[in-house]
């Protein structure tokens, strides 16, 4: 079957529509999802079950290629689920991300011309400071196959992680094979090794290797563990945190019930805009430090914080935005539901000599009420919610709070657009939206937006 790629689905795969007649002469629509294609391309694809309404398949042949198509640099592309757009020139990726933000806003009645061109990277490779790899049941270490979460692609390289991170990962993979250690079988719920998390600060150079396993590193594992410590300490002096984490839960997540420090400490130091942060294995921190710095600078530029003002940082995490803003306002209150993140935010503020912050472990909506009672009304509010967005209740609570300026940092243009629509009845105007590319070669895009209060309700 020959078809034209018209658009992309929410995960960055090409989409096409084919109309065909059945035996009764009625027209039936077949929606095709075709990964690794670009809008405007013509492709040949095999549909094995044409009677279905939807079908997903890789293209058999690109008959008419986009002028923006390029040869992927990574040998694992099309199999590994880490990247989906390496076949697309970077300029095209950025244009698509800009259009995504524009379409999301236009669907909620906003002017798409408020959206600026996406800020990209000078070098869109080796940008990640954190990677999570998974062990297969036979002990291979890699990333999940695209579209098949249960299959692990064994890696020989990764072009979006630093070379140090890749080399350390390959060393752990070799160690597991040398000691014949089994990976965790998700179906049988048996096996030892589950995940390897690698973090590295681009500023300090410090690296963390966090190994998730179903048992403690004792008894019959002592020889293997000693071998791991010797290898890492001998070859990777930048590893300041080598930890073994027990995870006996069935859920396939990088979580832990107990932490064993094999070498160094249980955290590493990182820096952003001159502020120092402690990062544990479960600390949320922007994974692209180069673009994260631009994002924080952009938020400061939009928010125009003043030394006479109070400010709320909603969904503050460990204080990524809180610390730079706190240095520019009279007082700052950070609100975050995760208690460990709040404890980290307090510690990070202390480490940086910042004394005008007040951090609260609370649900966002209830936290705003409590902060108003103890802290007062802020002139400036920043929020950086998860991909699911802040939600209508939180946004309406923000609207009733009537801060003069709102800076919204988003990692999901669709939930961002629906969220800020809730602010319009409270007298807010969307001033500008600036997308920033933190995840080259993927469909993800972040954006930073400014809303100002036009009238008091």
Which member of 80, 316, 411, 448 is catalytic?
Answer: 411
CATH of 130-272, one of 2.40.50.1070, 2.40.10.340, 2.60.40.10, 3.40.50.300: 2.40.50.1070
How much is the pLDDT for 81? 81
Q: Facing residues of 312 across strands?
A: 333, 381
CATH 2.40.50.1070 in the chain is located at 130-272
pLDDT tier at 341 (50, 70, 90 boundaries)? very high
Give 457's pLDDT tier (boundaries 50, 70, 90): very low
How many Å apart are CA 395 and CA 424, to the nearest integer?
10
CA 87 remoteness from chain centre: 21
DSSP tag of 62:
E
Domain with CATH 2.40.50.140 in the chain: 2-69
Q: What is the pLDDT of residues 311-333, one digit of tens each?
A: 999 999 999 999 999 999 999 99
Task: Look up residue 432 and give its two tokens.
Answer: 């500008």
Helix and strand totals (H; E) in the chain:
9, 23
CATH number of 2-69: 2.40.50.140
User: Which letter does DSSP use for residue 82 in this model?
Assistant: S
- What is the maximal distance between C-alpha atoms in the chain? 77
Instruction: Output the pLDDT for position 182.
Output: 94
Cβ atoms of residues 272 and 294 within 8 Å: no
Coil, strand or helix at 321: coil
Q: Is 448 marked active-site?
A: no
User: 149-169 pLDDT, tens per residue?
Assistant: 778 888 889 999 999 999 999
Query: What residues does CATH 3.40.50.150 cover in the chain?
Result: 96-122+287-453
Beta strands in 35-174 (DSSP E): 42-44, 54-56, 61-64, 130-135, 141-145, 148-154
DSSP assignment of 277-301: EEE-TT----S-HHHHHHHHHHHHH
Q: 268 versus 149: which is more confidently predicted?
A: 268
Q: Does position 252 have pLDDT exceeding 80, yes or no?
A: no
Query: First-to-last CA distance in the chain?
Result: 58
Residue 23 — pLDDT band, cuts 50, 70, 90?
low
Residue 256 has pLDDT above 90, yes or no: no
Cα→Cα distances 167→155, 173, 198, Å: 11, 10, 11
| Domain range 96-122+287-453, CATH class | alpha beta
269, with CB counted inside 10 A (0-12, 13-18, 19+), is middle
The strand pairing partners of 405, in sequence order, are: 380, 452
pLDDT, average across residues 369-383: 93
Comparing 80 with 87, the larger pLDDT belongs to: 87
pLDDT single digits (tens) 347-361 = 999 999 999 999 999
Residues ≥6 apart with Cβ < 8 Å to 123: none
């Amino acid at each position: 079957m020959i078809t034209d790629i018209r658009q992309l689905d929410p995960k960055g795969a090409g989409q096409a529509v084919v109309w065909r007649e059945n035996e009764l002469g009625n027209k039936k629509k077949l929606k095709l999802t075709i990964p690794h294609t670009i809008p405007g391309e013509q492709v040949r694809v095999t549909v094995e079950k044409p009677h279905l309404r939807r079908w997903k398949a890789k293209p058999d042949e690109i008959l008419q290629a986009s002028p923006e198509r390029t040869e992927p640099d990574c040998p694992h592309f099309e199999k590994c689920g880490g990247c989906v757009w390496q076949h697309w020139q970077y300029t095209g990726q950025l244009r698509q991300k800009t259009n995504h933000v524009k379409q999301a806003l236009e669907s909620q009645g906003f002017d798409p011309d408020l959206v600026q061109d996406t800020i990209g990277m000078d070098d869109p490779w080796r940008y990640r400071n954190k990677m999570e790899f998974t062990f297969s049941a036979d002990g291979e270490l890699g990333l999940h196959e695209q579209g098949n979460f249960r299959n692990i692609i064994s890696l020989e390289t990764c072009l979006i992680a630093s070379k140090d991170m890749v080399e350390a990962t390959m060393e752990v993979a070799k160690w597991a094979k040398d000691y014949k250690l089994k990976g965790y079988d998700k179906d049988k719920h048996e096996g030892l090794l589950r995940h390897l998390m690698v973090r590295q600060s681009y500023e300090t150079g410090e690296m963390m290797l966090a190994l998730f396993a179903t048992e403690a590193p004792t008894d019959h594992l002592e020889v293997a563990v000693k071998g791991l410590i010797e290898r890492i300490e001998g070859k990777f002096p930048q590893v300041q945190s080598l930890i073994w984490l027990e995870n006996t839960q069935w859920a396939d997540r990088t979580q832990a019930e107990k932490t064993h420090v094999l070498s160094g400490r249980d955290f590493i130091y990182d820096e952003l805009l001159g502020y120092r942060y402690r990062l544990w294995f479960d600390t949320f921190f922007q994974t692209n430090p180069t673009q994260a710095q631009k994002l924080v600078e952009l938020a400061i530029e939009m928010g125009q914080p003043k030394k006479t003002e109070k400010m709320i940082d909603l969904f503050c995490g460990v204080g990524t935005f809180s610390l730079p803003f706190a240095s520019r306002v009279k007082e700052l209150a950070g609100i975050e539901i995760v208690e460990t993140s709040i404890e980290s935010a307090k510690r990070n503020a202390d480490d940086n000599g910042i004394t005008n912050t007040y951090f609260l472990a609370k649900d966002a909506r209830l936290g705003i009420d409590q902060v108003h009672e103890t802290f007062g009304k802020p002139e400036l509010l920043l929020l950086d919610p998860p991909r699911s967005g802040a939600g209508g209740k939180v946004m309406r609570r923000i609207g009733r709070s009537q801060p003069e300026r709102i800076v919204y940092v988003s990692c999901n243009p669709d939930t961002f657009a629906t969220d800020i629509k809730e602010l319009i009845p409270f007298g807010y105007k969307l001033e500008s939206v600036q997308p920033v590319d933190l995840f080259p070669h993927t469909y993800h895009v972040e954006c930073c937006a400014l809303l100002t209060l036009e009238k008091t309700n």
